[in-house]
Amino acid sequence: MQVLKAIDIQSNTYFALKVQIGSHEMVQIKSCPVRFWDKTNKVWLIPYSTDNWNTLMSKMNNLPYTISEEIVRLNYIPSRYPVKDKSVTSSKGIHKTVELNENALKARDRMKEQLIVKRYQLSTFKSYLSSVTEYFAYYKDQNPSELSLEDIRKFMLYKINKDTISESTQNCLINAIKFYYEMVEGREKFYLTDLRPRKAHKLPGFLNKKDTIKLLMASENIKHRTILQLIYSGGLRLGELTRLKVRDINFEDNLITVKCAKGKKDRITILAKTVKPLLKTYIDQYKPKYYLFEGQTGGKYSDRSVQNILHQALIKSGVDENTTVHTLRHTFATHMVLDGIDIRKVQELLGHNSIETTAIYTHITDKMKKDTISPLDNLDLSNR
């Protein structure tokens, strides 16, 4: 076995291991909880840490190895940016195979590279690439670089009228197409405001404190209960929860470090004192090595698994079945405002760029204030 060093585009480091296919070393590497296969360099990648090295060596049973000074440069983050060349999930959620012409395939490869260079989150990467693939497939006999604003308009009207896409999908398609032409083709910035849906002003859903308690205590599984309570504790988004690493938890200062959140921002949020004993018990029992919540075969816990945990907790608790993981984030913010926490502190904890985004929670709590008195009640009309 040869041991090298690998560095990804976010400067994360890995042990890069070269072994023979089918060898005892490969079997042992695959049994490690966190490992990735890099097919380009034909190496196994394990996140660099003393614990991971000790785990690997205990599995190798003193088999010989050599250390190389060669550094493997990765133009991606392991486990991220999976793409199938001829497959796309349509805006209706249907996974189908599409045929793209040679120019479109090259255009999509360039789009993929630019998304990686700009270090977009995996969810955005997938949705943007899927969106432009649909767009390219619609004009299957044409070169994407030669399409005009009128062609974009025609495609968007087709999706709105024929496929009856949602408002969010409509915006995603426009954003992805704009990204391609502005960031890949280098066209001047352009706007498609006439094809944007009117902005809805909806109040986010949230749970009252009684239902919140019922939901957070519904699961008997310690891992599941920890996950739900941690989301509410820090107002975490789904992806932020699943990307948490063991080192992101600061027990001493009661803080959670959220790395690379929405908008490529890091932030600090709250680790509730009441969740600490539960979290410590979970760590002692499950012994996560890298990610705080790991799947059965290693790697980070999937978003779908967290959604399933919530679904089961909703059934057991009897709480509103329309509750989502993001509802817990809204609930965190609403309860903070109700408890008198300054709105700018709430903004900081949520990671909002604008105070206007956070201010929506003050609108919710204003509607809930039962001690507000009508001016009519202050008038003495008894003798009139």
In order along its 384 residues, the chain shows pLDDT tens digits of 899 999 988 778 899 999 887 777 888 888 777 788 888 888 999 988 887 888 888 888 777 888 888 899 988 888 654 444 455 555 555 555 678 899 999 999 999 889 888 878 777 888 999 999 999 999 989 999 999 999 999 999 999 998 888 888 999 999 999 999 999 999 999 988 888 887 666 666 889 999 999 999 999 999 999 999 999 999 999 999 999 999 999 999 999 999 877 766 789 999 999 999 999 999 999 999 889 998 876 678 888 899 999 999 999 999 988 899 999 999 999 898 888 888 899 898 988 888 887 887 777 666 665 555 666 666 677 765
For 218, other C-beta atoms within 10 Å of its C-beta total: 20
Whether residue 379 lies inside any domain: the answer is no
State the Cα–Cα distance between residues 109 and 105, nearest whole angstrom.
Answer: 6
**Cα(53)–Cα(333) distance, rounded to whole angstroms?**
41
Q: Which residues are catalytic?
A: 237, 262, 326, 329, 352, 361
Cβ(78)–Cβ(8) below 8 Å: yes
Strands 13-18 and 36-38: unpaired
Q: Which two tokens mark 278?
A: 């539960």
| Block residue for tokens 């000074």 | 69
Q: Distance between CA atoms of 143 and 248, rounded to whole angstroms? A: 46
Residue 110 lies in a domain: yes
Same domain, 265 and 221: yes
- Whose CA is closest to 206, among 344, 333, 336, 303? 333
My answer on whether 218 and 356 are in the same domain is yes
Does residue 342 share a domain with residue 259? yes
C-alpha triplet 314, 306, 332: angle, nearest 5°: 70
Backbone angles phi, psi at 258, to 5 degrees: -100, 110
Pair 257, 248: CB distance under 8 Å: yes
Select from 171, 195, 219 the last residue of a domain: 195
Q: How far apart are CA 35 and CA 22, in angstroms?
A: 16
Please say which residue of 162, 195, 228 terminates a domain. 195
DSSP type of residue 300: B
In this structure, are 18 and 116 located in the same domain? no
Q: How many domains does the chain have?
A: 3
Q: Are residues 236 and 348 in the same domain?
A: yes
Is residue 331 located within the same domain as residue 219?
Answer: yes
Give phi and psi for 96, each to the nearest 5. -140, 160
Chain-centre distance for alpha carbon 360? 23
**Are 325 and 254 members of one domain?**
yes
The letter for the amino acid at 265 is K
What pLDDT does 278 receive? 95
The distance from CA 365 to its chain's CA centroid, rounded to whole angstroms, is: 28
Residue type, 241: L
C-beta separation of 252 from 213 below 8 A: no
Task: Evaluate whether residue 246 is within a structural domain.
Answer: yes
The residues pairing with 294 across neighbouring beta strands, listed in sequence order, are: 300
What are the DSSP E strand ranges found in the chain?
Answer: 2-7, 13-18, 36-38, 43-47, 66-73, 87-89, 95-97, 249-250, 255-261, 265-270
Domain that holds residue 319: 209-368
- DSSP lists the bridge partners of residue 43 as 38
**Domain assignment present for 37:** yes
Cβ-contact 291, 301 below 8 angstroms = yes
CB 218 within 8 A of CB 209: no
What is the rounded distance in angstroms from the CA atom of residue 85 to the CA atom of residue 275?
A: 44
Quick check: is 305 in a domain? yes
Q: 80 in a domain, yes or no?
A: no
- Please state, in angstroms and rounded to a whole number, the distance separating the CA atoms of residues 279 and 354: 32
Extract the tokens encoding 225: 């209960």
What was the pLDDT predicted at 20? 83
CATH number at residue 289: 1.10.443.10
Choosing from 151, 166, 195, the residue where a domain stops is 195
For residues 57 and 138, state if they share a domain. Answer: no
